[in-house]
Amino acid sequence: MDSIDVTVLRNAAQWLKAGRRVALVTVTRTWGSSPRPVGALLAMRDDGAVSGSVSGGCIEDDLMERARAQLLAGERPEVATYGVSAEEARRFGLPCGGTMQLVIEPLAGDASLTALVELLDQCEHGNLIARELDLATGRARLRRASANEQLRFNGTTLVTVHGPRYRLLIIGAGDLSRFLAVIASGLGYQVTVCDPRAEYADEWDLAGVQIVRTMPDDTVLDMQLDAHSAVVALTHDPKLDDLALIDALQTEAFYVAAIGSRRNSTARRERLRLFDLDDAQLTRLHGPAGIHIGSKTPPEIAVSIAAEMTAAKNGVKLPRSLDVAQAKAEEERSEPCAVLAG
């Protein structure tokens, strides 16, 4: 599964290849409450067809009308602002009087198509690319971006960042790994699955996800994990999971987790403590992995893990009620009371 941005860019390229005109719309600034964050991307075809979203539908309706009226057929990018007045906020459905600034970039012809294809090729190869758009000329150039680089717009130049900003290492190539890899790919992660076991790795065929057969702890070291990296151990095999977790917990990885029951998770922490990991490092380990949503099947567990990983990435501290171990313990304490009440 492609990330949203890649899907938008790919659809724009396909429309250009078919000879249509396209407008690429980017959210560059927001004030107050807004439906979409800075960097949200939308491609709009000259007949009003859209891919992606900048508002959830309200502003898109106005952009469609502009496209049908050929107001998006200019040669140079333009800046549009929605929701400045209370009347506009009501008209476009922006919550709490929110305001959005957009850059609308018209695309047409072989030159635009070639530039988009080059950008997509770089993204598909796992490269993080900055696209610098000069609003005065309408010309854009590509260059390598740093992991910490963000969208910038100074009124004359728009810099957007494309490609996988985050990496995810999944240890184990079972069914759960497959579902988690699909979700993470859609969230924009560059996903690597590590499993030295031939009976698992030989069956892996998920497009866009790298499969490696080295030992997981070696893979952790080879990847040189940083603050934009996450590691999830899913094999249930201490010989594969533990050494990789020991190394991962000593890196800057923002999320390190392992699947397992509460009992197995407690036993795992005791084993890891024998390898001189301190309390601060062990506290970073999420286990059992995921949040408490009553998940039982591999797809549901993958959603649970992806949700916890997303919260960690965004710096959101989850309530104790969503902690798997805490929630299940609370349920067990309440069960006798529920029986008596019945």
Give the residue extent of every domain in the chain: 4-162, 166-326
Q: What is residue 340's predicted lDDT score, i.e. its pLDDT?
A: 41
CA–CA dist 203, 198 (Å, integer): 8
What pLDDT band is residue 189 in, cutting at 50, 70 and 90? very high
Task: Judge whether residue 97 has pLDDT over 70.
Answer: no
pLDDT top residue among 341 and 247: 247
User: Phi/psi of residue 188, each to 5°?
Assistant: 95, 10
What pLDDT band is residue 249 in, cutting at 50, 70 and 90? very high
What pLDDT band is residue 316 in, cutting at 50, 70 and 90? very high
Taking residues 271-296, report their average pLDDT: 91
Taking residues 304-310, report their average pLDDT: 97
CA–CA dist 177, 185 (Å, integer): 12
pLDDT top residue among 230 and 125: 230
Task: Judge whether residue 336 has pLDDT over 50.
Answer: yes
The CA radius of gyration of the chain, in Å to the nearest whole number, is 23
Distances (CA, A) of 110 to 24, 91, 107, 135, 157: 16, 37, 10, 19, 23
- Residue 83 one-letter amino acid: G
CA–CA dist 257, 141 (Å, integer): 39
Lowest mean pLDDT among 134-143, 182-191, 309-318, 319-328: 319-328
Taking residues 92-115, report their average pLDDT: 81
Write down the residue that tokens 């980017």 correspond to: 26
| HEC per residue, the chain | CCCHHHHHHHHHHHHHHCCCCEEEEEEEEEECCCCCCCCCEEEEECCCCEEECCCCCHHHHHHHHHHHCCCCCCCCCEEEEECCCHHHHHHCCCHHHCEEEEEEEEECHHHHHHHHHHHHHHHHCCCCEEEEEECCCCCEEEEECCCCCCCEECCCEEEEEECCCEEEEEECCCHHHHHHHHHHHHCCEEEEEECCCHHHHCCCCCCCCEEECCCHHHHHHHHCCCCCEEEEECCCCHHHHHHHHHHHCCCCCCEEEECCCHHHHHHHHHHHHCCCCCHHHHHCEECCCCECCCCCCHHHHHHHHHHHHHHHHCCCCCCHHHEHHHHHHHHHHHHHHHHHHC
Strand partners, 30: 100
Task: Judge whether residue 116 has pLDDT over 50.
Answer: yes
Task: Judge whether residue 217 has pLDDT over 90.
Answer: yes
Task: Judge whether residue 243 has pLDDT over 80.
Answer: yes
- The predicted model scores a pTM of 0.76
Q: What is residue 275's predicted lDDT score, i.e. its pLDDT?
A: 87
- Fold assignment, 166-326: Rossmann fold (3.40.50)
What pLDDT band is residue 235 in, cutting at 50, 70 and 90? very high
pLDDT in tens, 5-58: 889 999 999 999 999 999 999 999 987 666 678 899 999 998 888 999 887 667
Task: Judge whether residue 318 has pLDDT over 50.
Answer: yes
pLDDT in tens, 141-164: 999 998 788 899 999 999 999 988
Q: Taking Cα atoms as reference points, which of 26, 311, 23 lies closest to residue 187? A: 311
Q: Are 303 and 289 in contact (CB under 8 A)?
A: no
Task: Judge whether residue 342 has pLDDT over 60.
Answer: no
Taking residues 173-185, report their average pLDDT: 95
Q: How crowded is residue 271: how many other Cβ atoms within 10 Å of its Cβ?
A: 15
